[in-house]
Amino acid sequence: MNIAHLIFSLNTGGTETMLVDILNRQSESHSVALFIINDQVNEGLLQQISGKVKVVRLNRKEGARNPMPLLRLNRALWRFDPEVIHCHNHKAVNMLRLSLRKKALLTLHTTNVPVTNLKKYAKLFAISRAVQTDVHNRSGLSTQVIYNGVDFDAVVEKKGPADPAVFRIVQVGRLDHEVKGQHILLEALKILKEQGHNHIRLDFIGEGVSTLHLVQLRAALGLDDVVRFLGARDRKYIYQHLQDYNLLVQPSFVEGFGLTIVEAIAAGLHVLVSDLDGPMEIIRAAQRGDYFKTGDSRSLAGSINAILERKVETTIPPAAKLYVRQNFDIAHTVNHYLNAYKTLK
C-alpha cells in the first residue's frame, strides 16, 4: 500500500513526534511518504525518520499565497500515487485537487478544531473519546477513535524507592503557557514554597514561544533555585530520564489526549493533570494519577501537597501497566490505522 502523510510543519510537538513513530512503523511493510508543506522543520526530528520513508519538503512560507508549492505538492502526490492521504491538519484538504480528496483522511489531534473542512474528508479519526465527543457535539460527524501510542520497550521504568530528600517534578511539552499552562505550575510552586516545601524541584523539558516569559516569571516568583529549563530533548533522552522524577504535571488549558501522561505512567511516575476530558480519560481508565481544577494554581498546589502527604507509591501497579500497554502501545496505533485505510478500498 502507498501511504502519504501530509502535515504543515515538522516541529517538536506531540503530533509531530507521534507521526514519526507511525511513519517508521508503517514503512516496515508499506511504501510511505511524508509531505511537509511549510518550511518549519526541526532537523533533529527529521533525522529520526527512517530512510525507508520518502520525505518531500515543499518549503512554503507560512501564510504565503504563492500557488507554486501547492502545484508541486499535487504533482508529487500524483507521482507517488497513494491509496490514502493521511492529513494531520484540518486545512490540509484544501491543498489537494478534487480528484485526491476522496483519498484524504484526517486525524484530529485536539479538541475545538474548526469543523468547516471536516466534511471534505473521506474518514475522520480522533485521538481520544474526548475529541470524538467534541467533534460530534459541534458537527454531528462521526469519528473513529485511535489512541496515540508509546513504544513501551523504549521507556526505562523507575526502580526502587524515591529519594526522600528531594521531590522531583517534571513537565514535558511545548512551552506555550496560554495552551499548556506552565505558568500555573510556577504559581503553584510559589505557594508551596511559601508553605515551607523547600525540597521540591521542577524541570521543564521543551521549548517554545513562552520560554522567555516563563524564565522571567520564574525570577519574579523567586524560584530560580527551584526550577530548571532543560530545553528541547529528544524522546530517547526523555524515555531514559523520566525515571529520575517522582511526578509529572500536565497543567494544560487544552489537551485532546496527553501522550506524555502515558509515557510517565509507563516509566512508573505518578501523574497530576488538569481536569480536561482528554487527560482525565487516561487516568480514569488506567486508575493511575490525580487531577486539579484547570487554570487554578491553588488547586494545583493543593493536589501536589496532598500527594506529598500521602507519599504516593511511584512504582506502577500491575493493573495500570497492563491497561496502558493494551490500549496505548504504538503497535496497536499503527495496526488500527492500517486496518482503517483498508476500508477505503
User: What are the pLDDT digits (tens) for 94-147?
Assistant: 999 999 999 999 999 988 999 999 999 999 999 999 999 999 999 999 999 999
Q: Nearest Cα to 277, choosing from 296, 262, 260, 294?
A: 294
Q: Which of 37-46, 141-150, 178-187, 278-287 has the lowest mean pLDDT?
A: 278-287
Q: What pLDDT does 323 receive? A: 80
Q: 12-38: buried (b, 16+ CB within 10 Å) or exposed (e) per residue?
A: bbbbbbbbbbbbbbbbeeebbbbbbbb
Mean pLDDT value across the chain: 92
Burial grade of 253 (CB within 10 A; 0-12, 13-18, 19 or more): middle
- Residue 212's CB is within 10 A of a number of other CB atoms, namely 9
pLDDT at 275 over 90: yes
Model confidence band, residue 312 (pLDDT cutoffs 50, 70, 90): low
Percentage, residues of the chain above pLDDT 90? 72
Q: Are 182 and 171 in contact (CB under 8 A)?
A: yes
Q: Nearest Cα to 249, choosing from 159, 168, 336?
A: 168
List all residues 6 or more positions away from 160 whose beta carbon is below 8 Å from its beta carbon.
none
Torsion angle of C-alpha atoms 310, 255, 234, 152, degrees rounded to 10: 60
The residue ranges of DSSP E strands in 177-246, in sequence order, are 200-205, 227-229
pLDDT tens digits along 31-60: 999 999 999 998 888 999 999 999 999 999
**Phi, psi for 105 (deg, rounded to 5):** -120, 155
pLDDT at 305 over 90: yes
Q: Nearest Cα to 242, choosing from 199, 188, 198, 205?
A: 205
User: pTM score, two decimals?
Assistant: 0.86
Show contacts of 161-165: CB within 8 Å, 24+ apart.
161/314, 162/246, 162/314, 165/199
Q: Are 202 and 226 in contact (CB under 8 A)?
A: yes
Q: Which domains does the chain have, with CATH numbers?
A: 2-149+329-342 (3.40.50.2000), 152-326 (3.40.50.2000)
